[in-house]
């Protein structure tokens, strides 16, 4: 195991959880066979959803979702509108907690620890599991202050200039803004604003990045820049992305999870239909509903 930095526990009485990106081997690695007869070690499990149900008041949004998300991979969540992709994504860092009537059944484990345990510190959860939203949402502050905001609030003031520069470099934005760090972030283009939001998220060195349709409001050139950025970041972060763009999922994701609406009950409910390697989901899915969706027959 390489050296790790100490971090706070998820809650006052919780057992210490594994540190962020630098940790290795916190759980026994799984092994899988391949066509060449060799055994390959599967990356460590970061999230394990176990029979997750989500409700908003009396309305059920998701039913019986069981899914593993592994370290250092990009996992795409695809499916038609209203099938619960974003609800599930937001459940991974407790962003739904503020929604009236929200409740969750089953368990979501993060490095083996229940994210919804009674004494879990939600601030610490969101420090480790960052999120970037569909529409760029820079603060009405300077470019520098946008990136420095979270480190300052967490007391990470030592070496702040270097931290800001590192985050902007990580988001492939430094060369474009290094001479105007004191300018308003609202003066950036849409694609630059989205990369700034990614820089803001990675400035506190999270373990995971959750991306909710990060390129849906961008032009093709800015979209290509975001996709290239995701590829460059996946060696440092575990990434989960919701996308309606199936070509984007095919281009960027290592694994893809297809969600759809179960219509057997009184009202349709979102459900995980199939998850597998992205190439397999798009070339030879096991479930006919997945095949119909990725072939464009519905959705």
Looking only at the bridges linking them, the beta strands covering 39-41 and 31-33 are: antiparallel
Q: What is the CATH number of the domain that holds 117?
A: 3.40.50.300
Query: Residue 26: inside a domain, yes or no?
Result: no
Q: Is the Cα torsion angle 255, 258, 259, 265 positive or negative in sign?
A: negative
User: Is residue 99 in some structural domain?
Assistant: yes
Is 202 inside any structural domain? yes
Q: What tens digit of pLDDT does each residue of 81-116 get?
A: 999 999 999 999 999 999 999 999 999 999 999 999
Is pLDDT of 32 > 60? no
The pTM for the full model equals 0.85
- pLDDT band at 286, cuts 50/70/90? very high
Residue 197 forms part of a structural domain? yes
Give the model confidence (pLDDT) of 178-203 as tens digits: 999 999 999 999 999 999 999 999 99
Q: Does the pLDDT of residue 8 top 60, yes or no?
A: no
pLDDT in tens, 139-171: 999 999 999 999 998 888 899 999 999 999 999
In which domain, by residue range, is 104 found? 40-294
- Does the residue 59 lie in any domain? yes
Q: Is residue 143 part of a domain?
A: yes
pLDDT band at residue 36, thresholds of 50, 70 and 90? low
Asked if residue 2 belongs to a domain, the reply is no
pLDDT beyond 50 at 17: no
193-247 confidence digits (pLDDT tens): 999 999 999 999 999 999 999 998 899 999 999 999 999 998 899 999 999 999 9
The alpha carbon of 127 is separated from its chain's Cα centroid by a whole number of angstroms, namely 13
Handedness of CA 32, 38, 43, 44 (dihedral sign): positive
Structural domains counted in the chain? 1
Query: Using 50, 70 and 90 to split pLDDT, how confident is the model at 1?
Result: very low
The whole-angstrom separation of Cα 299 and Cα 80 is 5
Query: Quick check: is 173 in a domain?
Result: yes
């Amino acid at each position: 195991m390489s050296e790790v930095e100490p971090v706070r526990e998820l809650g006052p009485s919780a057992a210490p959880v594994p540190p962020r990106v630098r940790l290795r081997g916190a759980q026994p690695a799984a092994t899988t066979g391949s066509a060449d007869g060799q055994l390959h070690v599967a990356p460590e499990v970061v999230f394990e959803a176990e029979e997750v149900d989500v409700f908003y008041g009396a309305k059920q949004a998701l039913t019986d979702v069981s899914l593993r998300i592994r370290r250092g991979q990009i996992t795409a969540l695809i499916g038609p509108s209203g099938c619960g992709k974003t609800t599930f994504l937001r459940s991974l860092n407790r962003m739904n907690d503020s929604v009236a009537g929200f409740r969750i059944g089953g368990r979501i484990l993060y490095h083996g620890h229940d994210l919804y345990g009674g004494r879990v510190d939600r601030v610490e959860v969101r420090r480790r599991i960052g999120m970037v939203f569909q529409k760029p949402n820079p603060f009405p502050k300077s470019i520098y202050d946008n990136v420095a905001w979270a480190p300052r609030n967490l007391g990470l003031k030592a070496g702040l200039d270097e931290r800001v520069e590192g985050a902007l470099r990580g988001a492939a934005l430094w060369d474009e803004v290094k001479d105007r760090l004191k300018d308003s972030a609202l003066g950036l283009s849409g694609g630059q604003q989205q990369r700034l939001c990614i820089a803001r998220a990675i400035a506190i060195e999270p373990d995971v990045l959750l991306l909710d349709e990060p390129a849906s409001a961008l032009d093709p050139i800015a979209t290509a820049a975001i996709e290239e950025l995701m590829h460059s970041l996946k060696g440092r972060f575990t990434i989960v992305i919701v996308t309606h763009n199936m070509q984007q999922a095919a281009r960027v994701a290592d694994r893809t999870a297809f969600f759809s609406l179960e219509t057997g009950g009184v009202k349709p409910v979102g459900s995980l239909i199939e998850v597998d390697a992205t190439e397999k989901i798009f070339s030879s899915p096991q479930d006919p509903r997945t095949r119909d969706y990725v072939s464009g027959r519905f959705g």
